[in-house]
Structure 1
């Protein structure tokens, strides 16, 4: 037994090393400016400045997403790199929650170690920045970890503490993103529903929902009445994202990994069909089955309701892997309790997910030695070369590869590189007479991805119950807000207006406002937005 205990301790240390070690890697590197990170910065900045959501600004999401980033802004300052530090904590929380789930489900230390490795490589390691489509799942995992502690491992009064924490974090999931949070609640209810049927404890679901409802009231009541307008629950002016045709098309037309996992799980469960009653009374095993199927179902739906970026739903890999390998270990006698099979499996997992970490090696290589990644169009003998790297002719003359991006001198952008045009444009904005003369008192409308300029200039962010947190027409703001901004532009309310024109995105910043700007303001500058590809421009306007 002491030997087994020591072996388990080694796996525990290895798991913690993977979770924490890979999570802190971003602290030692630099980053290109990420698309949409302006929204993470803006919400965290406003919360850390004391602004109240749905009273000082409106958002179709709850503020759960910005709680941790806002805390890190308080600790380390409102810099973009503080968001990276916040994500380190979020990734560690997610890894520990996933490990706790597997531990409650009785997954063997060897398989748990491999599953944690899959989780970190497939889901955490590539998320260097906080984003609500990721944070919503992390809160869900924490809620599920507490719920399974309540159902499987805890006793006495602590059980109800775990149930309360499960309800709290499941609500925070909903208060981060409605689709993922709503499905998290359904998964919890499915797990509780099974144990209710098994143990005849009919009060468990009402108790959980009662705690959940109380938490919701405590969070929401102080935010009314603006919350009722801004928070998207399908009411006008919001649009519902629930489309049966979209779900069917995505699941039947693609979703290959999810369908393969469903197939493998059914195959693994074939022996259970002949003695279903014994499986039904194995609480730990049944919860494992229900959780895995629930996560796969959630992933299939989440990829439709949260369609950008396209890999939002890859949290399902680690759950499916843990369940399938656990079943195969028993049925095929894989002998994973020995270190050699575990070592081989580890190498195979690293090879399976090599694309996750190789792209970062490739990025570093392209910056250190651009020639090493260049591909010749003419051979040594003078012949035209056609290969997988150049068979298409790139007609985009505006694109600037990240190998040529540079750093800004402003502390808010420390360790973040951007196109030279963007950095130079920021410097010209900071040198504008109106910025220097009205420093701190300048009225600015910043409809761009350069939201950290609010602290760099500085200028006071505009507040009010009708003021949107971001300006995506039909998503973050609506016609009522567009009309208000149009009136302010016509009245020349602002001293400085920064507008981003992204022609390939549907009113990411309202197209209609650009026409008003050109009519009532004077355009003094234009430069590239910090996007890749660099297909959007930032226009700078001052009063004529």
Structure 2
């Protein structure tokens, strides 16, 4: 049996391991450079507008709340509106997420060794590869912080300060829904489910009303000033012209036709709970076990629904792995009487976790591996040597018939333009931006130039610079049916017909459904003069940016 001092030292070691994992891996992006990230234009522009004092819904419309841009806009104020400042913001978000997850497990009295292993799974599976802020990630981070404060409230003895944790839980749960409605709504339901059990267990009926009171108070304070500025039109709560994204067929197809990991974890959880369910009354009275079970089941249910409502990118919902791992590891270690706190047991388990999630860091190791063990050269039909055998393998059994000239990232280059520091892009993009900034109309009009930038190169507003348009009916981004609607499209058509802008940049991405509204392009061809075009900074490089000026 361990003495008090030895137990304290062991706990301290695992705390250090957790902190090193959370902070150390989060800091990695600060020491590297990045290719231009698809869709990062939206993160940049929202953060930039808020950092220069623009007010959401008054100065620009968005179907989301502005919770997503709070941290990036703060980092723009501190470090300047550089794309790399978004990476720094995500470092902070990843650290916040890691410690929130750790706090939840600590509140559930998870053994330090299992907690450290679970933190490793969380960091590898959910945080490490998230170098850029994105709302489908931030919504979950706010939820985790809210849950961490909620468990602090549940575990605290009755005292006045205890309600501060409930208020903070309500605040961050609201920030979650004010970042993305689907994830935030599911976060609210999960909090209410946990509070419902705690209220019944502790015989305190007032907990849910107090929590909801705090929640709606925060909502009123934040939403109240926005109501006169078209908030009801812009904010997507399923009303026209928005799409609610709730289709029973989609949920059934995704959950029953896929979701293998989620269903696998659910089966294992049921097997683990069979002994406890035989004496359900005793299980119900075990508050920590019940809360842990409800939390894990709730996270799995949320992940199953979230993958349908937030379908791109396809790995939005993988936050569930770490919760399921913590639950299953706790039960299996107890059943098998394994002390994972012992050095050899912990190191072996950590190596297994690293093997499990090797795909996260393999792409970095692969660059070195390819030099040591280069792939064999394979001959294909039509090779220069007519006597060579045609070899078909896993590397070449599919023939690429795409005629698009893709520019691999190994050929991308950097630019000195403000806002793009440490970010590399296709040479065509860099040279196209340089030609744009050298245009006579840009040099002559300077700050008074009127620009419509319907491209992913939103930092041009800072690099040129030009003043961004504002207005209650002006969209933050131009994805027709998502970020803007027919009313805004009609307004842009009218402005084009009236030659309102000096320069219009339009990104033509034929493979993306109205990512930038197709209907505007014929108007540009008719009423403006195209003077240049260059590649958009996408992977693959299958979109072009067209430059138009007044005729």
* SS of the residue 1:90 aligns to: helix
2:117 paired residue number: 114
1:69 paired residue number: 72
Distance in 1 between residues matched to 2:279 and 2:187, nearest whole Å: 30
Task: Tell whether the 8 Å contact from 1:26 to 1:128 is kept in structure 2 after alignment.
Answer: yes
1:161 paired residue number: 164
TM-score, structure 2 as length reference? 0.96
* SS of the residue 1:60 aligns to: coil
Distance in 1 between residues matched to 2:295 and 2:504, nearest whole Å: 50
Cα distance 1:375–1:453, how it changes in 2: closer, same or farther (>3 A)?
farther
Task: Tell whether the 8 Å contact from 1:492 to 1:543 is kept in structure 2 after alignment.
Answer: yes
Distance in 1 between residues matched to 2:429 and 2:170, nearest whole Å: 44
Distance in 1 between residues matched to 2:33 and 2:407, nearest whole Å: 18
Q: 5 Å matches for 1:224-243?
A: 224-225=227-228, 226-243=230-247
Structure 2 alignment gaps of length 5 or more: none
1:213 paired residue number: 216
Is 1:29 the counterpart of 2:36? The answer is no
Deviation larger for 329-338 or 64-73: 329-338
Distance in 2 between residues matched to 1:10 and 1:491, nearest whole Å: 68
2:133 paired residue number: 130
Distance in 2 between residues matched to 1:235 and 1:173, nearest whole Å: 20
* SS of the residue 2:533 aligns to: strand
Is 1:307 the counterpart of 2:311? The answer is yes
1:333 paired residue number: 337
Cα distance 1:152–1:490, how it changes in 2: closer, same or farther (>3 A)?
same
Deviation larger for 132-141 or 150-159: 150-159
CA deviation vs aligned residue, 1:444-480 (integer Å, no higher than 9, x gap): 0000000000000000000000000000000000000
Deviation larger for 369-378 or 133-142: 369-378
Distance in 2 between residues matched to 1:385 and 1:458, nearest whole Å: 54
Task: Tell whether the 8 Å contact from 2:379 to 2:388 is kept in structure 1 after alignment.
Answer: no
Cα displacement (A) at 1:373: 6.8
2:351 paired residue number: 347
Distance in 2 between residues matched to 1:280 and 1:183, nearest whole Å: 24
Match for 1:411 among 405, 411, 418? 418
Q: 5 Å matches for 1:240-319?
A: 240-319=244-323
Task: Tell whether the 8 Å contact from 2:418 to 2:462 is kept in structure 1 after alignment.
Answer: no
Cα displacement (A) at 1:70: 0.1
Distance in 2 between residues matched to 1:362 and 1:422, nearest whole Å: 28
Cα displacement (A) at 1:377: 3.7
Cα displacement (A) at 1:408: 1.3
Distance in 1 between residues matched to 2:184 and 2:540, nearest whole Å: 32
Deviation larger for 96-105 or 405-414: 405-414
Distance in 2 between residues matched to 1:50 and 1:401, nearest whole Å: 38
The count of corresponding residues between Structure 1 and Structure 2 is 542
Cα displacement (A) at 1:401: 1.1
2:8 paired residue number: 5
Task: Tell whether the 8 Å contact from 1:56 to 1:463 is kept in structure 2 after alignment.
Answer: yes
* SS of the residue 1:503 aligns to: coil
Cα displacement (A) at 1:394: 1.8
Cα displacement (A) at 1:252: 0.3
Q: 5 Å matches for 1:122-521?
A: 122-153=125-156, 155-225=158-228, 226-362=230-366, 376-377=378-379, 382-396=388-402, 397-521=404-528
Distance in 2 between residues matched to 1:456 and 1:154, nearest whole Å: 55
Cα displacement (A) at 1:387: 1.8
Cα displacement (A) at 1:385: 2.8
Distance in 2 between residues matched to 1:109 and 1:197, nearest whole Å: 29
Q: 5 Å matches for 1:520-531?
A: 520-531=527-538
TM-score, structure 1 as length reference? 0.97
Distance in 2 between residues matched to 1:384 and 1:23, nearest whole Å: 46
Distance in 1 between residues matched to 2:65 and 2:543, nearest whole Å: 29
Cα displacement (A) at 1:337: 2.4
Cα distance 1:270–1:250, how it changes in 2: closer, same or farther (>3 A)?
same
